[in-house]
């Protein structure tokens, strides 16, 4: 499978970061931390309602756009998401987005997210990162098909499930979907952003959703910023949307979340 050059650079850099992290925190230490954590919350159940669910993202910066949220307070943002109708929270933990795993820990410890599951959003390709996610109280992880081979994807998914975490498996095109379906995913994320050009197009969701078996839970990612966008993707059988930039750049995050959830008024249309 052809991997976009930007992703190759990220994975290369991430591999070096990972070697450093492994020298700081051993796998045995992660196992111990995991043994002390409460069970993971059910991410799939949280986004499986009869209406389109909002996975609201805690995101400080973007590699392409720089700082998005100057007054970044992950706990406060997560609390606002929770209070205004989000169904789950995504937390970017990659340094390129000025993210870190501690943000998940801080949100969990604060109690502001209550019963909302937290998705670790990162470039995950190593078993260590899955253990790391659970040790830091993530309830689910993102797996990006574009950076994984089928065997890797299958093994990481199985490892995640063995610790009680669901996986959101992300695709952008038909070949990636073909591979992903071989590992029998429950939740498939369709990224509307082309990682070569960084352009977004909701038609990506429209096209790929038609190729996905009806029993799969579909999440539309990137390029979603209005309730009209959600109305549109709901007609494609989408069960949830993941929104970050449109929320963290808003002058009124609470109002923006309410606008997107609209009291959960977006009915789902099966395709």
Q: What is the pLDDT of residues 111-145, one digit of tens each?
A: 999 899 999 999 999 999 999 999 999 999 999 99
Domain 5-261, what fold? TIM Barrel (3.20.20)
* pLDDT score at 268: 41
The H-or-E segment that residue 271 falls in is none
Query: Residue ranges of the domains in the chain?
Result: 5-261
Residue 12 makes CB contacts below 8 A (sequence gap 6+) with none
pTM, rounded to two decimals: 0.93
User: Which of the pair, 222 or 175, is modelled with greater confidence?
Assistant: 175
CA separation, residue 66 to residues 57, 74, 168, 256 (Å):
16, 17, 25, 21
Q: How far is CA 136 from the centre of its chain?
A: 16
SS3 content of the chain, % helix, strand, coil (to 5): 45, 20, 40
The phi, psi pair for 235, rounded to 5°, reads: -75, -10
Exposed/middle/buried for residue 25 (C-beta within 10 Å: 0-12, 13-18, 19+): middle
Share of the chain above pLDDT 90, in %: 73
* pLDDT score at 2: 56
* Residue showing tokens 């670790």: 120
Closest CA to 235 of 189, 188, 269, 191: 269
User: Which of the pair, 135 or 5, is modelled with greater confidence?
Assistant: 135
Closest CA to 240 of 203, 210, 209: 209
Residue 183 makes CB contacts below 8 A (sequence gap 6+) with 150, 153, 154, 157, 169
């Amino acid at each position: 499978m052809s991997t976009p050059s930007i992703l190759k650079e990220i994975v290369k850099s991430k591999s070096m970061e990972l070697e450093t992290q492994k020298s700081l925190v051993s796998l045995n230490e992660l196992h111990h931390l995991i043994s002390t954590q409460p069970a993971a919350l059910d991410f799939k159940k949280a986004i499986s309602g009869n209406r389109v669910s909002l996975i609201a993202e805690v995101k400080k910066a973007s590699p392409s756009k720089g700082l998005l949220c100057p007054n970044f307070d992950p706990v406060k943002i997560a609390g606002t998401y929770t209070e205004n109708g989000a169904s789950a929270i995504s937390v970017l933990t990659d340094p390129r987005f000025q993210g870190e795993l501690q943000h998940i820990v801080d949100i969990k410890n604060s109690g502001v997210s209550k019963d909302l599951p937290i998705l670790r959003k990162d470039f995950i390709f190593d078993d260590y990162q899955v253990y790391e996610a659970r040790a830091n109280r993530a309830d689910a992880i993102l797996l990006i098909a574009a950076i994984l081979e089928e065997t890797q994807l299958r093994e990481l998914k199985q490892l995640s499930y063995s610790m009680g975490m669901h996986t959101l498996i992300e695709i952008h095109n038909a070949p990636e979907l073909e591979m992903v379906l071989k590992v029998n995913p429950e939740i498939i994320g369709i990224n509307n952003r082309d990682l070569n050009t960084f352009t977004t197009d909701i038609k990506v969701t429209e096209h790929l959703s038609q190729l996905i078996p009806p029993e799969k839970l579909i999440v539309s990612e990137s390029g979603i910023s209005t309730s009209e966008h959600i109305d549109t993707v709901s007609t494609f059988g989408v069960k949830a949307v993941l929104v970050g930039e449109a929320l963290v750049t808003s002058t009124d995050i609470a109002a923006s979340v309410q606008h997107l959830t609209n009291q959960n008024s977006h009915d789902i249309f099966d395709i």
